[in-house]
Chain A
Amino acid sequence: MGQQIVKVKNKKGIRVIPGFGLSMGVTLSMLSILVLIPLVSIFISAGKLDFQEFAEAVTSKQVVSGYIVSISCAFFAAFVNAVFGVILAWVLVRYDFPGRRLMDGLIELPFALPTAVAGISLTYLYSDEGWIGALFAKAGIKIAYTRTGITIAMIFVGIPFVVRAVQPVLKRLDRQYEEAAQMLGAGRIYTFFRVTLPELFPALFGGFGLAFARGIGEYGSVVFIAGNIPNETQIAPLLIMTKLEQYKYSDATAIALVLLLLSFLLMLVINSVQIYMQRFSKE
């Protein structure tokens, strides 16, 4: 009912609550000055490039390999995070055990810890002399300065996204459906995959997408462990950085523009899939 009344009022153009003009003004001007105008610069600069220049910059072997490394590692990391994120959310919501609060608090560590610090300590940990790296080095497996290392760093930064997306949904989930399924004879695993997981899926997908996007753009925690071997472990954000250091602004802009469009596309896909799934589940 409340909503209907509001709509009628809006048609007449009367707003009851004061402060519309002020908050609209502050919001729009801050958003434009701090985010939108700087962001437009990248399109202005890209517009100055002629197409051939742009195509050459974006399709060079080094750049394409950078995109592939960033996207594939980020995808794999997001996938690992999706699996562990659901397990973590499940354990935190459904079980009670000593240290649960601590575990819950730790989840946000990758968010609070500066990425550069995470980067150097992960690099040390997984290098051939590091605590974990040494174990694998004996078996002849190198982790730091390979794509495996990049993926691990991306897993680190992505942990909170899936957990924090799934956790509230799981908390709100009515357990009567699971109980019903079990009473009808479904096993626990069957119940989880056929009853619980479908309910979590929109949130899980959203968290996966955010972790994926974050992984593609991540710089600080990845750059140290990546080792920057051309065509091998160079990530796309690092390529932008290198071009900037060489004062090749147009190349940097071109690479950045593709990366930017990629992340917008990703967000668009995530949002539409989520909207579609929510509609679908309501019907």
Chain B
Amino acid sequence: MSEKKKKSFEQDITGDGINSIKKVVETHNAASDGAIKYVLIGVCVVFLFVMLVLPLAVVAVNALKEGWAAYREAVSDEYTIKAFKLTLIAMVTATVVNTIFGIFASYLLSKFYFRGRELLASLIDIPLSISPVIAGLVFILTFGNIGWMGDFLKSHDIKIVFAVPGVILATIFVTFPFVFREIFPVMNAQGKEEEEAASLMGAGGFTIFLRITFPHMKWALLYGVILCAARAMGEFGAVSVISGHLRGKTNTLPLHVEILYNEFNTTAAFAVSSILVLLALLILAARNIVEWKAETKQKQT
């Protein structure tokens, strides 16, 4: 071992070590870090700009291409308003149903151990991996004229396929696991000791949920609800199959956009799209606020 090396080795041992390690790391990082950093950020900015921002700009520009009057006319059109209402109904129903399901299912799967737990969890995830078109198809095959429940529904004069209930059912199906997927990991990580303690001390089921489980997962729940609402609002494939495209009856906003676009009424199509874009941006903003709030709350505790 040469004198120099020996000296630095001794230094490492005797406490100057931290400094010399720092020096090595810092020089190593400083040399190329700046350049790489800005190149990578640049790549991301360009990618996101082309893939995400430009499509939004296209919607805005085309919606206003023929001026405000044309925009207002397209947006306040009778069919647009009807489609908007149906979208809202489907969105709210799907979100409420899936929230109820998500809470019960994640309570079940995170607080109790039973046989088939994993199987149940993967069954819940099924709608995620299915094409939306197939999601619509399964309801036609169930409730439609050729479906095995078709005759029964016909004799009782209940319409599901090509009617509002079908649209709602398809929306629920497609967004089924969203709330569950957000709150389950949080509830699972929290464990169940607190609930067990509360139960042994005599708290009832509802009190336990409200006072212990709920406070732990409320941010995740809100996040899941927002995500679910967003997807429910924009669902196209499944609803498109089952709605039958009846104008003013079973048309949701995304379907209305498609009809206008296929009629070469581009300005109106983009005008109606702009409502959906605004809603999507609002939802994104809400999502980020929720996340930010949850983070600051976490830091406080």
Q: Which residues of A contact B (CB under 8 A)?
A: 2, 6-7, 10, 15-20, 22-24, 26-27, 30-31, 34-39, 41-42, 44-45, 84, 87-88, 90-91, 95, 97, 101, 103-118, 120-122, 124-125, 130-132, 155-156, 159, 179, 182-183, 188, 210, 213, 216-220, 224, 236-238, 240-241, 244, 249, 252-253, 256, 259-260, 263-264, 266-267, 271
CB closest chain-B residue, reference A25: B104
7 cross-chain pairs, A with B, having the tightest CB-CB distances, nearest first: A114-B234, A217-B131, A220-B236, A219-B237, A18-B205, A23-B108, A116-B254
| A35 and B173 form a contact (CB under 8 A) | yes
Q: B interface, how many residues as a size bin? A: 35 or more
Q: A264-B129, A267-B129 are in contact. Are A118 and B55 (CB under 8 A)?
A: yes
| A188 and B32 form a contact (CB under 8 A) | yes
CA distance A118 to B199 in the complex (A): 50
CA distance A6 to B47 in the complex (A): 50
A-B contact count (CB 8 A): 286
| A109 and B270 form a contact (CB under 8 A) | no
Q: Kindly supply a per-residue 1/0 record for chain B positions 221-251, scoring 1 wherever the CB is within 8 Å of any chain A CB and 0 otherwise.
A: 0000001001101111100110000000000
| A27 and B105 form a contact (CB under 8 A) | yes
Contact of B51 among A111, A156, A236 (CB under 8 A): A156
CB closest chain-A residue, reference B203: A18
* Residues on the B chain within 8 Å of A259, using CB: 131, 134
| A240 and B133 form a contact (CB under 8 A) | yes
Q: A237-B131, A244-B140 are in contact. Are A156 and B55 (CB under 8 A)?
A: yes
Among listed B2-10, B73-81, B277-285, interface-contacting one: B277-285
Q: A101-B288, A117-B277 are in contact. Are A155 and B51 (CB under 8 A)?
A: yes
CB closest chain-B residue, reference A263: B129
| B209 and A120 form a contact (CB under 8 A) | no
| B52 and A110 form a contact (CB under 8 A) | yes
Q: Kindly supply a per-residue 1/0 record for chain B positions 260-274, scoring 1 wherever the CB is within 8 Å of any chain A CB and 0 otherwise.
A: 010000100110010
Contact of A159 among B28, B52, B107, B172 (CB under 8 A): B52
Whether, in the assembled complex, B151 has its beta carbon less than 8 Å from a beta carbon of chain A, the answer is no
Could you write out 17 A-B pairs with CB less than 8 Å apart?
Answer: A15-B112, A26-B100, A30-B105, A31-B123, A34-B97, A37-B142, A87-B47, A108-B284, A113-B277, A114-B233, A114-B254, A115-B234, A115-B236, A120-B273, A131-B54, A244-B140, A263-B131
* Residues on the A chain within 8 Å of B205, using CB: 17-19, 22
* Residues on the B chain within 8 Å of A218, using CB: 131-132, 237
User: Chain B: interface secondary structure?
Assistant: helix
Whether, in the assembled complex, B64 has its beta carbon less than 8 Å from a beta carbon of chain A, the answer is no
* Residues on the B chain within 8 Å of A15, using CB: 112
| B54 and A42 form a contact (CB under 8 A) | no
| A112 and B134 form a contact (CB under 8 A) | no
| A45 and B273 form a contact (CB under 8 A) | no
CB closest chain-A residue, reference B123: A31
Nearest Cβ in chain B — how far from A37, in angstroms? 7
Q: Kindly supply a per-residue 1/0 record for chain B positions 14-26, scoring 1 wherever the CB is within 8 Å of any chain A CB and 0 otherwise.
A: 0000000100110
Nearest Cβ in chain A — how far from B74, in angstroms? 14
| B25 and A97 form a contact (CB under 8 A) | no
* Residues on the A chain within 8 Å of B189, using CB: none
CB closest chain-B residue, reference A117: B273
| B173 and A34 form a contact (CB under 8 A) | yes
Q: A18-B208, A249-B146 are in contact. Are A219 and B133 (CB under 8 A)?
A: yes
| B36 and A219 form a contact (CB under 8 A) | no
Task: Please name 9 further chain A to chain B contacts, defined as beta carbons within 8 Å, in addition to the given A117-B276, A183-B25, sorted by A numbering.
Answer: A2-B191, A17-B112, A112-B287, A122-B55, A131-B54, A183-B28, A217-B131, A240-B131, A240-B134
* Residues on the B chain within 8 Å of A183, using CB: 21, 24-25, 28
CA distance A102 to B261 in the complex (A): 31
CA distance A108 to B241 in the complex (A): 26
| B58 and A131 form a contact (CB under 8 A) | yes
| B231 and A111 form a contact (CB under 8 A) | yes
* Residues on the A chain within 8 Å of B196, using CB: 16-17
